[in-house]
Amino acid sequence: MSSSQPILPQGAGYGVVVGIGLFFSAFMVMLTAIQARYTGFSPKNSEEFSSASRSVKPGLIASGIVSAWTWSATLLQSSAVAYKYGISGPWWYGAGATVQVLLFAQLAAKLKLHAPYAHTWLEIVGARWGNIAHGVFMCFGLATNIIVSSMLAVGGSATVTDLTGMNTLAACFLTPLGVAIYVVVGGMRSTLLCDYTHTTVLFAIILVFVFTVYATSPKIGSFARMHALLAAAAERTPVDGNAQGSYLTMRSRNGLIFGVINVIGNFATVFQDQAYWQRAIASRPASTVKAYLLGGLAWFAIPFTFATTLGLAAVALRGDPAMPTLSAADVSAGLPASAAAGALLNKAGAGILLVLLYLAVTSATSAELIAVSSILTYDVYKRYINPNATEAQILTMGHAMVAFFAVVIGFCGLIFFYIGISMGWLYTFMGVILGSAVVPIALCITWSKANKWGCISGALIGFCSGVTAWLVTTSALNGGEINVTTSGGDFEMLAGNLASICVGGIVAVTVSLIWPENYDFEGTRAINAPVREPKPSVTERSSADEEEDYEEKNAREKHPEAVNVHAVSEEEENELDPRALKKAFRFAAWSSAALTLVLLILVPFPLFGAQTIFGVRGFTAWTVIGIIWTFMSAFSVVLYPLWESRAALRQITQGMIKDMFAPGTGKYTHSEPQTNEDTNA
Ligand SMILES: NC(N)=O
C-alpha cells in the first residue's frame, strides 16, 4: 500500500466502520418505529420487508438507485482511472456505467408489464423456462452479488487500512455485519430511507472536495492552476497512448479500452443484480421508468465530478511533500483519491473521505444483502425447500439470509485479500465471467420469441469463450506467464469482456431467430398474483361493509388529497394498465437509447477523433458542466423525494404532535385515511 504512514489513528477506522453500522442501526430502529406507528407500514410483513409493498415513489427509488450504484469503486476506481488516463477516465467511468441504468428502465417497464407481482427476476426466468434455466441464471445472479459485494469489501477495506492502519480483515468483516443489523431491522423501505440519508451526505461531501480543489486550496485552488499542474505533470511523465501524453485530452487509447470494459462489466452488474430489479419491484408501476432515468442521470455526476476533482488532484499534487508516492498496486487498489484528500486537507480530508467511502460501501452493501436474501428466500427456500412456507417462515428466512450473506461477504473479502486481488482487478474482470448472461436475461424478460435453450447455451458458451479469450490473450501477450498481474492488463481484460458478452448475445439471438418461441407471458404475469375476492353483491353486503363505505366517504371529504389503503391498491391496479405500461416502455426505449448515444458516442468520439487537448477555458467548461450536473443531481435525489413525500411527512409530523400533547392519539389506525404519499414514507 502507499509508502507513507496512515494519516489517521486506527481508532478512527474502527470508529467509522463500527460507528456507522451502529448509528444506522439505531436510526433504522427509530425509522421503523415511526413508520409502524404513523403510517401503518411495518417490515414485520414479508412483502413490506423485501419489496416495500411495491409502492415507493420515483424520487426515493432514484435516490436508492444512486445509493446502490455508488460503490467503493465509483469513488476509488474512477479516481484511479483519472490518475492513469486523465480527463477521459472520469468520462468513461461515469458514462460507461450510467447507460446501463438508463437502459434498465426498459426492463423495469417490462417487469411491470409481464410480472408485476414477482419478488425476484429469477422467479420470472423460472416461470418462463423452468428449473434448469432458473438454476443456471441463479448461478450468474449470485455470482454477480458475490463479485460486487467482494469489490465493496476489498475496495473499502484497502482504503480504510491505508488511511488509518486498521486491520484489513477486521474491516472486511465488520462492515457487512454492521449493515446487516440495520437491514434486518428495517427491511426494504427503511433501507431506501437510509439510502436517501447516505446519498444526501454523499453529495455534500463531494461538493466539499470540489470547492476545496477548485476554489479554496492553496495547493490548487483554481481551474487555471489545476490545468497548469496537469500540463506540467504530463511534461514530466507523459501518459502512454494519450495525445501528446497529455492528461487534458479525451484522445486516450487506454481510457477508451477501459471505457469498453466498463460498459460491458456494468451491463452484467445491473441486468443480473437483484438489487436493481428490487428497486423496480418496490417502485409504483406508473413511475418506474422515471425513477431509473432520473437515478441514472443523477448518478453520472458522482464518479465524473469526484474523479475529475480528486483523481486529477492526485496527479497535480505529485511531488507535494504531503502526497505519498503511489505504486501501480496502490493505484489498482484505488488509493489516489485518499492520497489526494490527505494531501489537500490533511486529517480532515482523510476523515471525510473515510466517511464518504463508508457511506458508499454501507449503502451499496445493504442493497446487496437484501437482494441476496430475497433470492435465497424466494428462489431457493420457497421454490425448492418449502413451497408452502408461511408468512412468518418467509420473514425469518429473509432475516437469516441477510446475516448469512454478511458473513459470506467477510470471507470473500478475506479470500481476495490473501490471494492479492484488488478492487481494480475485480472491477475489470467482472464482465469476463458475468457478461455472457446479459443478453439472454434481457431477452427472457422482454422478447416473446426468445428461445430457452438458445439463452441458456448463450450464457454458458459465452462464459467459456470469455474465460478462454482472457487466458489465451494473457498467455500470448506475456510470454506464457499467467498470474494476477499479467491477467489484469488492459488488452487481456478487454478480450475476455468482449468475447463473453458478444458470444453470449450472438448465440442467444441466433438460436432464438432460428427456433423462435411464441411466449405470451401469462405464466410470468401469474407469479404471486393476488387472488381477488369478488365484490359482494348489493344483497350480500353487510352493515359492516356499509359502515366502511361511509367512513371512507367521510374521510375523502375531510382529506381531498388523501385516499385510504383500498384506494391506493385500486390506483396501483389502474397503473398496471397494459396500454400505459407499453407507452412507458416506448418512452424508456427512446429516451434511454438517445441518452446512450449521447454519452457513449456523440460526446466522446468527436473529441477522441479531433485529438483535442483542452486549454484552460475548455478544461474549465468541462469541469463546470460536471459541477452543475452534480447540483442538479443533488436536487433531484435529495430535494425532490422530500417534495413528493410532503403529505406523508405532514401526516407523520401531525401524528407526532398529537402524541406529544395527548399521548396515544397520533397513532395511525386502519380506518384513518392514508395519503398517497404515505406509500413513500
Ligand atoms: N457502480 C459502479 N460501476 O460504480
| pLDDT tier at 630, thresholds 50, 70, 90 | very high
Q: How far, in Å, from the CA of 65 to the mean position of ligand 1?
A: 11
Q: How far, in Å, from the CA of 70 to the mean position of ligand 1?
A: 6
pLDDT at position 131 is 96
- Give the whole-angstrom CA distance, residue 214 versus residue 212: 6
- Average pLDDT for residues 250-273, to the nearest whole number? 93
Q: For 81-423+587-643, CATH number?
A: 1.20.1730.10
Q: Is 645 exposed, middle or buried (0-12, 13-18, 19+ CB in 10 A)?
A: buried
Structure-block grid coordinates of residue 118: 414477482
Does ligand 1 lie within 6 Å of residue 92's CB atom?
Answer: no
Q: Of the candidates 504, 479, 478, which has an alpha carbon nearest to the alpha carbon of residue 492? A: 478
pLDDT at position 2 is 52
- Average pLDDT for residues 582-596, to the nearest whole number? 91
- Give the whole-angstrom CA distance, residue 605 versus residue 76: 25
pLDDT at position 42 is 65
Q: Of the candidates 646, 648, 665, which has an alpha carbon nearest to the alpha carbon of residue 656? A: 665
Percentage of residues in the chain with pLDDT exceeding 90?
59
Q: How far, in Å, from the CA of 58 to the mean position of ligand 1?
A: 21
Q: How far, in Å, from the CA of 363 to the mean position of ligand 1?
A: 13
Amino acid at 415: I
Does ligand 1 lie within 6 Å of residue 71's CB atom?
Answer: yes
Other CB atoms within 10 A of residue 380 CB: 15
Task: Indicate if the pLDDT at residue 277 is higher than 70.
Answer: yes
Separation in Å, CA 223 to CA 15, 456, 515, 518: 35, 52, 58, 58
Does ligand 1 lie within 6 Å of residue 74's CB atom?
Answer: yes
pLDDT at position 556 is 46
Q: What are phi and psi of 324, to 5 degrees?
A: -70, 155
Helices and strands (H, E) in the chain, number of each type = 28, 2
List pLDDT tens digits, range 340-399: 999 999 999 999 999 998 888 888 898 899 999 999 999 999 999 999 999 889 989 999
With a cut of 0.90, is the ipTM above it?
A: yes
Indicate the range of 316-320, 557-561, 579-583 predicted with least confidence.
Answer: 557-561
Angle between helices 288-306 and 88-114 (to 10 degrees): 170
Residue whose Cα lies nearest atom 1 of ligand 1: it is 69
Q: Give DSSP secondary structure letters for 43-70.
A: TTSHHHHHHGGG-B-HHHHHHHHHHHH-
Task: Indicate if the pLDDT at residue 657 is higher than 90.
Answer: no
Does ligand 1 lie within 6 Å of residue 2's CB atom?
Answer: no
pLDDT at position 305 is 98
Q: Is 483 helix (H, G, I), strand (E, B) or coil?
A: coil
Q: How far, in Å, from the CA of 64 to the mean position of ligand 1?
A: 14
Which atom of ligand 1 lies closest to the CA of 74? 4
- Average pLDDT for residues 584-592, to the nearest whole number? 90
346: left (phi over 0), alpha (psi -120 to 50) or beta: left
Q: Of the candidates 126, 132, 146, which has an alpha carbon nearest to the alpha carbon of residue 383? A: 126
pLDDT at position 418 is 87
- Give the whole-angstrom CA distance, residue 341 versus residue 493: 30
- Give the whole-angstrom CA distance, residue 134 versus residue 139: 9
Residue whose Cα lies nearest atom 3 of ligand 1: it is 97
Q: How far, in Å, from the CA of 97 to the mean position of ligand 1?
A: 6
Structure-block grid coordinates of residue 430: 467482472
Q: Which of 65, 66, 67, 69 to mutate to test the pocket of ligand 1 (most atoms within 8 A of CB)?
A: 69
Element (H, E) at 367: helix 336-374
- Average pLDDT for residues 136-148, to the nearest whole number? 96
The mean pLDDT value of the chain amounts to 87
- Average pLDDT for residues 421-426, to the nearest whole number? 87
List pLDDT tens digits, range 436-488: 999 999 999 999 999 999 999 999 999 999 999 999 999 999 999 999 899 99
Residue whose Cα lies nearest atom 4 of ligand 1: it is 74
- Give the whole-angstrom CA distance, residue 100 versus residue 419: 31
Q: Is 262 helix (H, G, I), strand (E, B) or coil?
A: helix
Task: Indicate if the pLDDT at residue 268 is higher than 70.
Answer: yes
Q: What is the C-alpha radius of gyration for the chain, rounded to an integer number of angstroms?
A: 25
| pLDDT tier at 534, thresholds 50, 70, 90 | low
Structure-block grid coordinates of residue 237: 511523465
pLDDT at position 141 is 97
- Give the whole-angstrom CA distance, residue 371 versus residue 361: 15
Does ligand 1 lie within 6 Å of residue 335's CB atom?
Answer: no
pLDDT at position 387 is 94
Please tell me which residue, 23 or 590, carries the higher pLDDT value. Answer: 590
Q: How far, in Å, from the CA of 629 to the mean position of ligand 1?
A: 18
Q: Is 369 helix (H, G, I), strand (E, B) or coil?
A: helix
- Give the whole-angstrom CA distance, residue 329 versus residue 662: 62
> Which residue ranges make up each domain of the chain?
81-423+587-643, 436-519
- Give the whole-angstrom CA distance, residue 360 versus residue 72: 6
Alpha helix segments (H runs only) across 377-483:
391-418, 423-434, 438-446, 452-477
- Give the whole-angstrom CA distance, residue 305 versus residue 602: 20
**Are residues 324 and 2 in contact, defined by beta-carbon separation less than 8 angstroms?**
yes
Q: How far, in Å, from the CA of 488 to the mean position of ligand 1?
A: 18
| pLDDT tier at 278, thresholds 50, 70, 90 | confident
Residue whose Cα lies nearest atom 2 of ligand 1: it is 74
* Overall pTM > 0.90: no
Structure-block grid coordinates of residue 252: 486516450
- Give the whole-angstrom CA distance, residue 607 versus residue 600: 12
Q: CB within 8 A of 177, min separation 6: which ones?
A: 21, 406, 407, 410
| pLDDT tier at 43, thresholds 50, 70, 90 | low
Task: Indicate if the pLDDT at residue 674 is higher than 60.
Answer: no
pLDDT at position 417 is 87
As a residue count, the chain comes to 681
